[in-house]
Amino acid sequence: MKNFITKENIGYRFQQLVILVLHLILLSWMYYTLANSGRLSTTTVFYHFIGMSIMGATLIRGSAYWANHHYVKEMKKRKNSKESSKDSKAEIS
């Protein structure tokens, strides 16, 4: 737990924090809608569920895109570091 947040993974931890906060907002919205659905009109409940569906889908898609962006960036960095190490080994030989 000591190395949970380091300089190298601060971006990932920030990403996880943002996703957690957005999930908690969505969860509280769901709880509000379900708790008050008996007092709201059917149309209002319908619009709440449509909104929650859109937010959930956007959250899933956005999280996947963001994670993929970090993954591709890390793979490019690893590829470049391997190529530079091969080049330096070739220069030494």
Query: Tens digit of pLDDT for each residue in 27-52?
Result: 999 999 999 989 999 999 999 999 99
SS3 for the chain is CCCCCCCCCHHHHHHHHHHHHHHHHHHHHHHHHHHHCCCCCHHHHHHHHHHHHHHHHHHHHHHHHHHHHHHHHHHHHHHHHHHHHHHHHHHHC
pLDDT, residue 6, reads 85
pLDDT, residue 88, reads 67
pLDDT, residue 81, reads 86
**Number of structural domains, the chain?**
1
Tell me the pTM: 0.71
Instruction: Enumerate residue ranges in the chain where pLDDT < 70.
Output: 1, 87-93
pLDDT, residue 70, reads 84
Residue 77 lies in a domain: yes
Residue 2 lies in a domain: no
Residue 65 lies in a domain: yes
Domain with 63, as residue range(s), is 10-92
